[in-house]
Structure 1
């Protein structure tokens, strides 16, 4: 599928990855409609920070992914939908799982139902590496068993299986895209890398974190976005679920020590009880196999972890960006 001049809808366009995806799709010549979460403040989330000449090329649709009627209206006339709208914070899913079912499962169902009826040419459903749970073998390929170690991951497993069922039952042209841990500018402070950077840049000497031992396959956001676009363009990807991964792993402790060395060598790490996941819920190891995406597309990761972290640090050094974060507050 050629996305140049195609009409494209991005749900969750006001979020971290979604806003970067919108920006890149505009740069590549797509006609972009951005589905943002309706709110009384008329906030477009991170889209508000895009250059005016970029945002002027984007059609804004305010709605709620849980509303099937609004989703159908938003998707009307679109050739392709990138479905990123979701609740993603794992700690929040512990005490508000109903909202995750409504948003992540029913929201995805709304997109799939509309795509089936409207005969949308391509549906990109965003999964997560959390659906695998702690690695039972490494690197994790797409045949790895699923394990719902949090209500969040369980709802994403459910959404993925719904997407698979629509492909198998109705021939809906679905691609399930499964990015491993994405980081970069605009990421929420509920994630480990912004949590560390904002504390360090605010001058704190005690850097409060959860567990330091889990490992992750960290993807810089530009690489994740490039993977989404490459997979949307690949006809051979239809009906498949595909990892976006670097194939390397780094512990949270390694990341913390690198950022401390770059920003405040005098800082020390303090493990805070409230930031720890329940032991059986913690995913201790994630490292992805990227063989399939490389076979289907020309995608290759361009950023190693240190290069991506330096790009991220520079964005946070801008006081306008840093001021959006509350470094002294634990964000769930």
Structure 2
């Protein structure tokens, strides 16, 4: 409360929810959004007016070290969420993932070191674990880059932590498992399912149904970020932010269809299927460390919590003004 806080990627899915919650908690928030000629602030354009007027908007690009330095200057806490996140697009354009995710992270931690930020919360992803070698997955699980995206995030994590080890930069790594909720990109499976059903489709086009995921509602993810920033014991540490509940994509389809009151079947769309050795077959978070060190635990836990989160997500996506932003008929890589 009262801190000057920078959120990179504040125009995105998780970043916009985080920036809004920080404003509600009394923080002075500088929101780093991706510069564009439309002067779009991404999802922050949809923020309530009373929150939007409290935000200091900084338009730039994390790939540019000079702009990043300007954004970081004067900030006590840096939440670094800006990244390229689509796995299919990382097969298409892997070089951009190195520039944005690895070099962008270097720019952030370098600026934070130079300007003396008191905390840097760096965003990882459960994809860095690859297919689980043991479950539930602890923070000590081996890292496996099974896609260019995952490899770039491993590199970004290592870059961030190297600054803690080399220079004492107060870095904490938050590793969310599959976050879902209002505003999520249609590239993700849950919005893809919901928007296809909401558009009237009863034969859904999806990729593999057998992999399992640990879905984490966005409100829980945001609380995890803030808990990490508030804990002095979190410096130099990595934390899984997950629900500790495993469910297959196929069962997720069934649950969403049940919530939406429809019957559906699934047709496999080959362009949505990952290469065999690139598919992450199983993700299931052990969140013990976050519970013990951060005092964080998911409020949308287990099957009942997942159902509640999905119901809130469905309610948002099926609102006509929200649904029209999505192209349910297309595969978004």
In structure 2, the residue matched to 1:106 is 103
SS of 1:176's partner is strand
Q: Is 1:67 matched with 2:68? A: no
SS of 1:288's partner is coil
> How much has 1:265 moved relative to structure 2?
2.4
**Is the 2:186–2:326 contact (alpha carbons within 8 Å) kept by the matching residues of 1?**
yes
Distance 1:63 1:158 in 2: 22
SS of 1:200's partner is helix
In structure 2, the residue matched to 1:131 is 128
1:46 to 43, 47, 54: 43
SS of 1:36's partner is strand
Instruction: Please give the residue correspondences for 1:183-198 in structure 2 after superposition, counting only pairs within 5 Å.
Output: 183-198=180-195
Q: Is 1:250 matched with 2:251? A: no
**Is the 1:139–1:287 contact (alpha carbons within 8 Å) kept by the matching residues of 2?**
yes
Distance 1:205 1:289 in 2: 35
SS of 1:148's partner is coil
The answer for unaligned runs of 5 or more in structure 1 is none
Detail structure 1 runs of 4+ shifted over 4 Å in the superposition: none
After TM superposition, the score normalised by the length of structure 1 is 0.98
SS of 1:34's partner is strand
**Is the 1:197–1:316 contact (alpha carbons within 8 Å) kept by the matching residues of 2?**
yes
Q: Let me know the Cα RMSD of the aligned residues.
A: 0.7
SS of 1:81's partner is strand
Distance 1:210 1:140 in 2: 24
Distance 2:283 2:263 in 1: 30
In structure 2, the residue matched to 1:84 is 81
> How much has 1:182 moved relative to structure 2?
0.1
**Is the 1:104–1:159 contact (alpha carbons within 8 Å) kept by the matching residues of 2?**
yes
Distance 1:86 1:170 in 2: 24
Distance 1:49 1:186 in 2: 10
Q: Is 1:20 matched with 2:21? A: no
Distance 1:261 1:239 in 2: 43
In structure 1, the residue matched to 2:161 is 164
1:148 to 145, 148, 156: 145
In structure 1, the residue matched to 2:318 is 317
> How much has 1:299 moved relative to structure 2?
1.2
Count how many residue pairs are aligned between Structure 1 and Structure 2: 329
After TM superposition, the score normalised by the length of structure 2 is 0.98
